[in-house]
Amino acid sequence: MTSEDGRLVVVFNGEIYNYPQLRTELESDGVHFCTTSDTEALLHLYARHGAEMVHRLRGMFAFAIWDQLQRRLFLARDPYGIKPLYTANDGWTFRFASQVKALVAGGNLSRDLEPAGVVGFHLFGSVPEPFTLYRDIRSLPAGHTQWVDAAGPREPKPFSNLAEVLAKGAANPVLAAEIPERVRDGVLDSVRAHLLADVEVGVFLSAGVDSGALLGCMRDAGYREIRAITLAFEEFNGTSEDEAPLADQVCKRYGARHVVRHLSQQEFVEDLPAILEAMDQPSIDGVNTWFVSKAAREAGLKVVISGLGGDELLGGYPSFTDVPRWRRRFGGLAGVPGLGFFARALIARVAPAFSHARPKALGLLEYSGTWAGAYLLRRGLFLPHELPEVMDPEIAREGMHRLRPLRCLGASLKPDPGSDVARVCVLESVHYMRNQLLRDADWAGMAHSLEIRVPLVDFTLLSALASSIPAIAKGAGKAALAAAPTTPLPNEVVTRAKSGFSVPTGAWIKSVVGDASSSIGQKPESKGIVSRRWSQAVLNGAALAKRPLEVHAS
Q: Give CA separation, 405 vs 80, 150, 409, in Å.
A: 19, 33, 6
User: Does position 307 bind other proteins by CB under 8 A?
Assistant: no
CB 201 within 8 A of CB 223: yes
Give 117's contacts (C-beta < 8 A, 6+ positions apart): 127, 128, 131, 132, 133, 134, 281, 399
User: Does position 312 bind other proteins by CB under 8 A?
Assistant: no
Please identify, using beta-carbon distances, which residue of 134 and 508 lies nearer to other proteins: 134
Give per-residue burial for 247-263: e unless 16+ CB within 10 Å, then b: bbbbbebbebebbbbeb
Residues 380-409 that bind other proteins (CB under 8 A): 401-402
User: Does position 300 bind other proteins by CB under 8 A?
Assistant: no
Give the helix/strand (H/E) hosting 148: strand 144-149
User: Does position 107 bind other proteins by CB under 8 A?
Assistant: no
Counting DSSP H helices and E strands in the chain, the numbers are 26, 14
Please identify, using beta-carbon distances, which residue of 87 and 429 lies nearer to other proteins: 87
When binding is defined by CB under 8 A, the residue of 152, 332, 415, 514 that contacts other proteins is: 152
When binding is defined by CB under 8 A, the residue of 69, 151, 175, 353 that contacts other proteins is: 151
Please identify, using beta-carbon distances, which residue of 95 and 302 lies nearer to other proteins: 95
DSSP 489: P
Residues 64-103 that bind other proteins (CB under 8 A): 89-92
User: With helix as H, strand as E and coil as C, how does 437-460 read?
Assistant: HHHHHHHHHHCCCCEEECCCCCHH
Stretch that binds other proteins, among 148-156, 270-278, 309-317, 430-438 (CB under 8 A): 148-156
Please identify, using beta-carbon distances, which residue of 89 and 265 lies nearer to other proteins: 89
Q: How many whole angstroms from its chain centre is CA 335?
A: 31
Stretch that binds other proteins, among 132-140, 363-371, 480-488, 541-549 (CB under 8 A): 132-140
When binding is defined by CB under 8 A, the residue of 155, 198, 515, 525 that contacts other proteins is: 155
Rounded CA-CA distance 481/215 in Å is 11
When binding is defined by CB under 8 A, the residue of 35, 70, 110, 502 that contacts other proteins is: 110
Q: What does DSSP say about strands 94-97 and 86-89: parallel, antiparallel, or unpaired?
A: antiparallel
Please identify, using beta-carbon distances, which residue of 44 and 138 lies nearer to other proteins: 138
Quote the least distance from Cβ 114 to other proteins, whole Å: 10
Please identify, using beta-carbon distances, which residue of 55 and 154 lies nearer to other proteins: 154
Q: How many whole angstroms from its chain centre is CA 288?
A: 14
Say if residue 520 is exposed, middle or buried (CB neighbours under 10 Å; 0-12, 13-18, 19+).
Answer: middle
Residues 463-522 that bind other proteins (CB under 8 A): none
Please identify, using beta-carbon distances, which residue of 109 and 484 lies nearer to other proteins: 109
Quote the least distance from Cβ 88 to other proteins, whole Å: 9
Task: List residues binding other proteins (CB under 8 A).
Answer: 89-92, 110, 112, 116, 135-136, 138, 150-156, 401-402
